[in-house]
Structure 1
Amino acid sequence: MAKWGKLSFAQKKCVSTVGMLMQKTEMVKDGDRIGIAVSGGVDSFVLIRTMLIRQAIIPFNIELMVLHVNPGFIPDSHYPLSDWCRENGIASHIELTDYGPRAHGPENKKKSACFYCSRLRRKRLFELCDQYNLTHLALGHTADDLVTTFHMNMLQNGRVQGLSANESFFKGKLQVIRPTLMLEKKYIKAAARQWELPIWSNKCPSNDNTKRSEINNWLEDEWRKMPGSRNNTFNALRRWQLDLNMKTS
């Protein structure tokens, strides 16, 4: 038996779906150094666990490193992540910032708090990738995020745009990848419970009070009116986004 033990259906779904996307989009190659952006939520924690298994399966060498930028609402919230990384032998860079309070304070008067905070955290993650000479930054976006983002772009911005599984930044110096982009959150939640991952709750005051959550709730209401429409929406957008990435990979 492999060192990670027998996998449940949900855990196998996570490992196989991530592997499929990595292979079809040629996401990584021998010698790549991948920083995994971890918020402490269920999506990014399952991404770490899954990537560790994929690292052992793939027939070439890649390096993994956890990157966590604590937004500052609860200064010690990342302690379980520090312990977990140490116990599982994965390198990590974990730091405390004041990005969250700043985004909700007088410094930010024009942008939404979520936009401002995420911009600061993304900038810091890019800096860390450069500091540690990482070739990839892995984000834990899911199929659910793809569906919601697509509708946000269409309804708010008049654009047909989703989330790329593999895109280049800084003239090719860094690849931003989303290995869980084809994976539905229901499998991620089940796998996280079964792996007993030390996930902590989001204490941001804007949590569940954003345009994203509003559009997601609207979609759920519409799907309830038409049986099968949820699966059709997910399958259509996954095929569309995968086709785009396969053409540009």
Structure 2
Amino acid sequence: EKQMSSGKVAEGKGEDEVSMHKRAQKAEKKLMSSVGKAIQDFGMIKDGDRVLVGLSGGKDSLSLLHILLALKRKAPIKFDVAACTVDPQTPEYDPSTLKTYLQELNVAYFYESHGIIQQASCSLQKNSICSFCSRMKRGVLYSVCEREGFNVLALGQHLDDQAESFLMSAFHNGQLRTMKANYLAREHAVRIIRPLTYVREQVTREFAMAKKLPVINENCPGCFEAPQERARIKMVLAAQEQIFPDLYGK
């Protein structure tokens, strides 16, 4: 009886592994399709491009890195993919564990540590630290692109981010605009691309869980993972999606 019991446990574990593998394959296929379409529609990646992924360690940027690496292996064109993490030096957010993970992936990796949070805390109000930190991180990423010869910077904002930014711009600035999917930052001679522009946040969440990606939660004291205003916008969109199920499909 004991042998039969352990056999059933072993069989159950095998089924769990098979189920997890199938979920990972399904999530990867869905993500690959949406990212591939965005890259094609917006002409994001060209033959010979050197692409640097801004890697925070969140589910979105990690998912983006994995999909770009997979596309690199399958694409008819040749392009390079590397990653860069900007550590703002706050104890609530420690992305240093990414070093080992990226080494295992055999991906060129740049880890930039800068005292951004301390600099912001000394001169800014708390509610403006988030935007300051974001600008400073972007500046570091531009510097790495210029220093290391990357002509494309890939960022991990997805379709939900695009919709939220659109509403925030409309409500706060009276302008109908959102983040661009592909544009040139002329002062740095670097193209900015957002390959997840057709991807729902739920898809990157499913992919990260299925692939067991080493996601790092951002708990910065100046910029929490879900800032209050963006959280309100999320609620507005969620309510509208209940009424209009194809809201994001349009």
TM-score by length of 1: 0.85
The answer on 1:220 being equivalent to 2:234 is: no
- The answer to whether 1:113 aligns with 2:129 is yes
Which of residues 22, 39, 46 in structure 2 aligns to 1:29? Answer: 46
Match of residue 247 from structure 2 = 233
- What's the CA shift string for 1:4-59, capped at 9, x where partnerless? x9752111111111111111211111110001001111100101111100111111
Task: Tell me whether 1:189 sits opposite 2:205 in the alignment.
Answer: yes
Of stretches 5-14 and 188-197 in structure 1, the one that deviates more from structure 2 is: 5-14
Task: Give yes or no for the alignment of 1:124 onto 2:140.
Answer: yes
Report the Cα offset of residue 102 of structure 1: 3.0
Which letter maps to 1:233?
L
Cα offset for 1:172? 8.1
Letter in 1 for 2:128: S
Q: Is the 8 A contact 2:166 2:178 kept in 1?
A: yes
Q: Which amino acid aligns with 1:36?
A: V
1:107-163 Cα distance to aligned partner (Å, 9 max, x none): 114961111110111111111111111110000000100110111111111111122
- Give yes or no for contact 1:147–1:233 (8 Å, CA) kept in 2: no
* Identical columns (%): 27
Asked if 2 retains the 8 angstrom alpha-carbon contact of 1:75 and 1:96, the reply is no
1:166 lines up with 2:166 in the alignment: no
Given candidates 73, 76, 80, the residue that maps to 1:56 is: 73
Query: Which one is further off, 176-185 or 72-81?
Result: 72-81
Code of the aligned partner of 1:232: D
After the TM superposition, list the runs of 4 or more consecutive aligned residues in structure 1 that deviate by more than 6 angstroms.
Answer: none
Tell me how far apart the structure 2 counterparts of residues 153 and 35 of structure 1 sit (CA, whole Å).
Answer: 28
Amino acid at match of 1:60: I
SS at match of 2:111: strand
Larger gyration radius, structure 1 or structure 2: 2
Greater mean deviation of Cα atoms: 51-60 or 205-214? 205-214
Q: 2:196 aligns with which of 167, 180, 190?
A: 180
Aligned to 1:247: none
Cα RMSD for the two superposed structures: 2.0
Following TM superposition, by how much is the alpha carbon of 1:76 offset from its aligned partner in structure 2, in angstroms?
7.9
State how 1:132-143 maps to structure 2 within 5 Å.
Answer: 132-143=148-159
Q: How many pairs does the alignment contain? A: 227
- Give the 3-state SS of the residue equivalent to 2:247 in structure 1: helix
Structure 1 stretches of 5 or more lacking a match? 237-249
- Contact 1:146–1:181, Cα closer than 8 Å, also in 2: yes
Secondary structure of 1:234's partner? coil
In the alignment, structure 1 residue 65 sits paired with structure 2 residue 85: no
Residues 37-92 of structure 1: CA deviation (Å, up to 9, x unaligned): 01111100101111100111111211111010012123882232111111111001
Aligned match for 1:15, one of 32, 51, 62: 32
